[in-house]
Amino acid sequence: MRREVVFLTLFFLGASSLIISQGQKIAPTPPDKYASLRLKMVKEQLEARGIKDKVVLEAMKKVPRHLFVEQKYWGEAYNDYPLPIEEGQTISQPYIVALMTECLQLARGDRVLEIGTGSGYQAAVLAEITDQVYSVEIRKNLAEKAKKTLVQLGYNQVQVKWGDGYYGWEDQAPYDAIIVTCAANHVPPPLLKQLKEGGKLIIPLGSTLYFQTLTRITKTSTRPKVEHILGVRFVPMVGEIKKKRGT
């Protein structure tokens, strides 16, 4: 649900752009060459591997992944593997982004918290589905850069905060869903506390040195429901979590 703002100048809509000037007709420009790569990505990497949620698939078709990485990686942006960003971090492979988003079972209007903004790509995908997206990034430079990219692309509804994701974002709680995009050796208690009853939390859980299990936790009035999805490997969560338990 990207908000398009038109100032009678150049703006982009999906796969093509339109030039508008006062007193002139709308003239289409050549289609965005990356749009066809996004469609191919969705068909061959997501649908072919079992992603079924049409809302998630449509969101993945719209978000320009190449604009969340350095220009030298644009040609690889729609391949199904992670790509490096700044400060030793990565942008997750498209399939994992789609899978984690699908696991949240989001509805329009849901309030979502993301832990680990990174490039901002996952937040943009979430923002195509709901207009209440909050994201916490512990690295100040990444937080600022992601916010700038999101605003430039029209995702003004995404709120980015520089801080330690271990503590969530209490001021904006409770959340219908929480997505953690970095590996943790345990579930931070503040995140469960900030999750609504019936809400879902998706997190790569396990050793931060090796591999983790993508885990979905549904909060109930009694004991949380825990589901193990598949094996993954994410960059580790840093900050307060390092003081709580060993890696």
The rounded Cα 112 to chain-centroid distance in angstroms is 10
Catalytic residue among 92, 119, 207, 221: 92
Rounded Cα gap, residues 72 and 84, in angstroms = 11
- Tell me, yes or no, if 92 is annotated catalytic: yes
Active site residues: 92
